[in-house]
Amino acid sequence: MFYSCGEDGFVQRFDLRSNSSTKLFCCSTFTGTDNLFSSNILSLNSIIIDPRHPNYFYLGDCDQYARVYDIRKLPSNKDAPVETFCPKHLIKTREMQITGLSYSNTSKLLARTLAASQEHVDSLDEPHMYSGHRNNFMVKGVSFFGPDSEHVMSGLDCVVWKKNDGRVIRIMEGNKCIVNQVEPHPNISVFASSELEKDTTLWAPVSLITFLHWFMSYCR
């Protein structure tokens, strides 16, 4: 069983055992600070499930809020999140949206935003903000990386930050197009990147010959 979301605002659940899907609800905008909903549909960019609490999933959408839903209360509660998260300085802005979400192995949440103004980003007093490149036009993913989730990765090029201090430690150029998604291997220090092209690139901190020999041995 897995869940998906899309630009039409719908969250769906797919059951591989019955080869069927169910539309759970359609995500709507808030009408104000009281968290009441309007009829305006939100395009959804990301959905993730909490690895330690699999009954909860988060949605990243075209506003500044990360929404938390309880699978056990769906679809009876429809579009009714059990919790919402937004930094205080972004509550009243409409210039940002969440393009990617990720969980660490300790259930820490990481959000990737699309910013309309570099000056706005530079003025934020956030100890866990990762900067160094701009995401102005396209949806980019974000991921933790490393056995203890000690690094943060995102696209445009392949950018790697130190999680604790936000320092950029490596920028690796993609092939020919902008990198949209980076996804780490769950057990080894390897990650894959995808672009607008048809190819997927594998990255590892070793030489190509050593990596291929090691990776083929691991996959046996």
Contacts 24+ apart (CB under 8 A), 167-171: 168/132, 171/132, 171/133
Lowest mean pLDDT among 13-27, 29-43, 101-115: 29-43
2-219: CATH, from 3.30.1780.10, 3.40.718.10, 2.130.10.10, 1.10.3720.10: 2.130.10.10
Q: What is the mean pLDDT of residues 35-39?
A: 49
The per-residue pLDDT for 178 is: 67
Evaluate whether 74 touches 25 at the Cβ level (below 8 Å): yes
- Asked if pLDDT for residue 33 goes beyond 50, the answer is no
H/E stretch holding 41 reads: strand 37-41
The per-residue pLDDT for 198 is: 73
Q: Categorize the per-residue pLDDT at 36 as very low, low, confident or very high, splitting at 50, 70 and 90.
A: very low
**What stretches of 109-178 show up as alpha helix (H) in DSSP?**
118-122
Q: Which amino acid is at 85?
A: F
Q: Categorize the per-residue pLDDT at 35 as very low, low, confident or very high, splitting at 50, 70 and 90.
A: very low
The per-residue pLDDT for 70 is: 92
Q: Categorize the per-residue pLDDT at 215 as very low, low, confident or very high, splitting at 50, 70 and 90.
A: low
What is the phi/psi pair of residue 156, to 5°? 100, -80
> Cα–Cα distance between 129 and 12 in angstroms, integer?
31
Strand partners, 44: 61
**Residue 151, helix vs strand vs coil:** strand
Percent of the chain as helix, strand, coil, to the nearest 5: 10, 45, 45
Order of strands, edge to edge, in the sheet holding 179-184? 179-184, 191-195, 200-203
> pLDDT, tens digit, for every residue of 172-205?
766 666 666 777 887 777 888 776 667 777 777 7
Strand partners, 111: 101
DSSP-derived letter for residue 43 is: P
In the chain, the percentage of residues whose pLDDT exceeds 90 is: 3
> Cα–Cα distance between 204 and 193 in angstroms, integer?
11
| Higher local confidence (pLDDT), 120 or 75 | 75
Query: Cα torsion for 12, 111, 80, 48, to the nearest 10°?
Result: 30
> Cα–Cα distance between 135 and 116 in angstroms, integer?
8
- Asked if pLDDT for residue 48 goes beyond 80, the answer is yes
Question: How is residue 92 written in tokens?
Answer: 């009243």
Question: How is residue 121 written in tokens?
Answer: 């980003």
Write down the pTM of the prediction. 0.65
| Higher local confidence (pLDDT), 95 or 104 | 104
Q: What is the mean pLDDT of residues 65-81?
A: 81
> pLDDT, tens digit, for every residue of 110-138?
666 655 433 233 344 454 666 655 555 55
The per-residue pLDDT for 129 is: 64
> pLDDT, tens digit, for every residue of 137-158?
555 667 777 777 777 777 666 6
Evaluate whether 145 touches 191 at the Cβ level (below 8 Å): yes
Q: Where are the domains of the chain?
A: 2-219
